[in-house]
Amino acid sequence: MEQKTTVHIIGAGVSGLIAAYELEQAGYHPVVFEKQGICGGRIQTVTVADYELDLGFQVLLSAYPLAKKYLDLEALSLRKLQSGAQILVDGKRFLIGDPLRDWKVLLPTLFSEIGSLTDKLRVLKLNLLLRKKSLDDIFSTPEVSTLEYLKRFGFSNKIITRFFQPFFAGIFLETGLQTSSRMFEFVYKMFGEGHAMIPQRGIGAISEQLKAKLVQTTFKFNCEVQALTDTTITLTNGEKISHQGVIVTSNAATLIPNLYDAETKWKSCMCLYFEVDKTSIPHETIALIADTGQLSNNLYAYKDSKGRTILSVTTLKHQGLSEEEIVARVSHEIRTYCNPVSLAHISNFTIQQALPQLTNLKYTSEPSASQVTDHIFLAGDALFNGSLNAAMESGRLAAAGLIEKKSGWFS
């Protein structure tokens, strides 16, 4: 019988937490190095003054297969967002949604000025098509850009610019819809089969729940890895640690000499938070600004634990502007579109590595594909498709690959 030895994980984001969980199930005692003082990576809720703010506006799609596998959704006390959006354009506001889920949005959707009746029939056609299309089929279909995909499907420029562009810009973190059509189909399918949800205590509750499941894992926070070989981990304080197996979940290209893959390119975003007395955004609804020339892309208002109305605003066009200019312009846009009487800026976050910029997107792979040297394995959503589901899948596969290797199942 194989002797269970300590294995190491670099990074305590979601992929690292899933890897630790799977290793524990196999009898290992993982040691996790995390350069921050908290787990979660990009899936964090942070405290600013007496506000609890997510590290950027993020939702959990309940249809993610691995969210169902690894998370206790009921225990997260999830707020369910409406299956639609408010479109703000040309001084008007339109509420659109899926009438198959909520009949009350049928007439507003049909009479909204975001596209023709033919466009709306094509939306229904797309819904039905993707409900029948398997995930394997989605990720084996030849890639084009999302914009090209929508044009080929027959959608008009009007519905693309007034709905698809602002909605998916907030998901893909780029305004040109150049993201792979595989990602579009995957995300669209997940929205159609489940709900966009946010834990009542913030998105960081997901990471906290995953960490709480770990009983044999040691976390070493504020502990940054400087270099890595097939046998040794070197920390920034100069300490060297021998290892017999390590999973790297971030910055692999900077840690591993001569790594075959180039360093991942990342998309960034900026999320600003305000306290307001009221907004014109419907309850649990995402508002999308489809007017050109605005900094704000999507807005979401919610009540925090103290009963205050918090407004989250995401911008993708903040480059070249000072923080003061961005806050001032976004504040003006909030007053224009949301009609608050009082408005107070709380804080903002610039997330430089918000989403990996990828092509040839995959859903999964063989566990052995995560191995890059005899004892080093890779995880992270950048290996597959840049989603929470991908982060979980990559952690699962890296753990499985390491376990198989140590069990002698592959050489």
H runs (alpha helix) in 250-362? 252-255, 323-338
pTM over cut 0.85:
yes
Confidence band (pLDDT; 50, 70, 90) for 264? confident
DSSP states of 131-185 as a string? HHS-HHHHTTSPP-BHHHHHHHHT--HHHIIIIIHHHHHHHHT-TT--SBHHHHH
Residue 240 C-alpha from the chain's centroid:
34
pLDDT at 1: 33
pLDDT of 61 higher than 60:
yes
Q: Which of 126-130, 147-151, 398-402, 403-407 has the lowest mean pLDDT?
A: 403-407
Contact 230, 376 (CB under 8 A): yes
Return the pLDDT at 19.
Answer: 98
* Residues 353, 357: Cα–Cα separation, whole Å: 10
State the residue for tokens 């040794």.
232
List of residues 6+ apart from 289 with CB closer than 8 A: 88, 89, 166, 296, 297, 298, 299, 333, 337
pLDDT digits (tens, 9 = 90+) for 293-317: 999 999 999 999 999 999 999 999 8
Q: In the prediction, which pLDDT does 2 show? A: 44
Average of per-residue pLDDT across 169-182? 96
The C-alpha torsion from 171 through 38 and 201 to 273, rounded to 10°, is -60
Q: Which phi and psi (to 5°) does residue 136 adopt?
A: -60, -40
